[in-house]
Amino acid sequence: MAEPSKKETVEVVLKNWRAEVETARVYRDLAERESDEKRKAILIRMAEAEERHAQRWEQKLGDMGQPIPTLTDTFWARFQRRFTRSLGTDIAIRRMEAAEEKHEREFSAQRDRALAGEQDVQEFLRTSALEEKAHARALNAMAGPANPKTVLDTILKRERWHGRGGSWVADAIYGVNDGLGAVFGIVSGVAGATNNQQHYVLISGLAGMLASALSMGAGAYLAVKSEGEVYEAEIAREKAEVEENPEEEIEEMALFYQLQGFSAEESQKMAERLAENPEQLVQAMAQSELGLSAHRFPNPWKSAASASLSTAVGAFIPIIPFFFMSGLPAVIVAFVVSIVAHFAVGAVKSLITIRSWWASGFEMTLVGIIEAVVTYGLGLAFGAAV
């Protein structure tokens, strides 16, 4: 690969300088609004590190005979900082984590190109990339769980009975929900299109039930299996990092403990004690950085069976009246039974959400009514057209 020209090198150095200055400003802005003293101190240290990086890039510009620019605090830059603040501290920290990871990748790529033969820059790029990586991990620890699923997993890890049963319960509830909604729509549409002919509704309903159950089961199996494979890959990555640079991993582990409220001295001792068993250090790093632990992942076959059976149960409900009745009465009974089932499923969903049972049930009922009206109407329209 051809080395970049001096002009390209200047542009890259200038871009890096701007990025470091802007990042430092954001860290200082977040630190000013942070009430937790430990988090505030960490954000200030990160801002100082970014400012040191910016000074190094300024020095490089001077060595290249370039004037030191003045970074104007533009309207767009101020808007971005205000927008970041408006998201809340934890989400803002997540955004900065992504920015640090991006900077790490850019510095690594620039180091590979050697910036027009500037060998003295390579070492700075290497150390900067390592610092950006460390910043990203520290931010990950500061922000904590990023979404409701992760929050739920964190809670379930504290309560072992949830850890054993929480996953399949959620799979079962959402399986019933999916099967009921999908086949209720099919039954309503086919009933409208065929003038409520019993055998057509039964055939289409049973076919839809089978397809939905198999689809949900396959999806659940692949999802859980993929999560397990991701866990194994992350463990392998952490193991390689511990083997290559144990001191850095110990320092990171100490930082995680410090963020949990331990003193710096206690955190360092705990991390060093943990490092006496490299395998335990690997497991601890994976759980602290990524929230990954082996017992989180259920058996993929168990998840597949739970999803398939629950979907089939939900899908079978709208079909039941057509085994004993035909014509419009069967459609009406199927509608009533399905709407009641929608409310029941919505109410049960409140067991794994924070919503009240009646609000969740009402929402599901409303969705079911809209679905029935739309699909039955479409069926009538298609039936009339045919």
pLDDT digits 0-9 by tens, 181-238: 888 888 888 888 888 888 888 999 999 999 989 998 898 888 888 877 877 777 777 7
* 191 within 8 A of 379, measured Cβ to Cβ: yes
Q: Which two structure tokens, joined as six digits, stand for 191?
A: 């009933």
Domain termination site, one of 112, 143, 174: 143
Domains contained in the chain, number: 2
Same domain (yes/no): 138, 162: no
Is 50 exceeded by the pLDDT of residue 155?
Answer: no
Distance CA 309, CA 115 (A): 59
Q: pLDDT-based confidence at 302, cuts 50/70/90?
A: confident
Residues counted in the chain = 386
Q: Is residue 114 part of a domain?
A: yes
Residues 25 and 105 in one domain: yes
CB count within 10 Å of CB 174 equals 20
- Final residue in a domain of this structure, among 143, 177, 207: 143
In a domain, 284, yes or no: no
The residues near 286 (Cβ < 8 Å, ≥ 6 apart) are 231, 234, 235, 238, 292, 293
More confident residue, 266 or 141: 266
- Say whether both 89 and 205 belong to one domain: no
Residues 19 and 166 in one domain: no
**Per the domain annotation, does 281 fall within a domain?**
no
pLDDT computed for residue 81 by the predictor: 66
Q: Do 134 and 29 fall into the same domain?
A: yes
Q: Which domain holds residue 315?
A: 157-235+299-385
User: Does 294 have pLDDT greater than 60?
Assistant: no
Q: Are residues 94 and 219 in the same domain?
A: no
Calculate mean pLDDT across residues 241-262.
74
Residue 181: HSE in the Cβ half-sphere, 13 Å Cα cutoff: 17
Of 117, 143, 169, which one is at a domain's C-terminal end?
A: 143
**Which is higher by pLDDT, 288 or 19?**
19
Same domain, 89 and 177: no
Residue 261 lies in a domain: no
> Which residues does 307 contact at the CB level (< 8 Å), separation at least 6?
171, 172, 174, 175, 216, 217, 219, 220
Residue 205 tokens, joined: 């309903």
More confident residue, 203 or 331: 203
Are 309 and 301 in contact, with CB atoms under 8 Å apart? no
Question: Which of 27, 54, 53 has the alpha carbon at shortest distance from 41?
Answer: 27
Residue 91 is which amino acid?
Answer: I
The whole-number pLDDT of residue 252 equals 74
- Give the torsion sign (CA, 222, 225, 231, 237): negative
The C-alpha atoms of residue 322 and residue 191 are separated, in whole angstroms, by: 10
Whether residues 194 and 341 fall in one domain: yes
- Report the mean per-residue pLDDT for the chain: 75
Which tokens in the block code for residue 195? 């003038």
Whether residue 270 lies inside any domain: the answer is: no
Contact 34, 28 (CB under 8 A): no
Between these two residues, 140 and 86, which has the higher pLDDT value?
140
- Asked if 336 and 197 sit in the same domain, the reply is yes
- In this structure, is residue 247 part of a structural domain? no
* Cβ atoms < 10 Å from Cβ of 241: 16
- What number is the average pLDDT over the span 380-386? 63
- Please report the DSSP string for 72-141 in residue order: ---HHHHHHHHHHHHT-HHHHHHHHHHHHHHHHHHHHHHHHHTTTT-HHHHHHHHHHHHHHHHHHHHHHH
164 residue type, one letter:
R
Q: 175 with 134, same domain?
A: no
Q: Are residues 139 and 201 in the same domain?
A: no
CATH number of the domain that residue 71 is part of? 1.20.1260.10
**Sorting pLDDT into bands at 50, 70 and 90, what band is 146?**
very low
Same domain, 131 and 72: yes
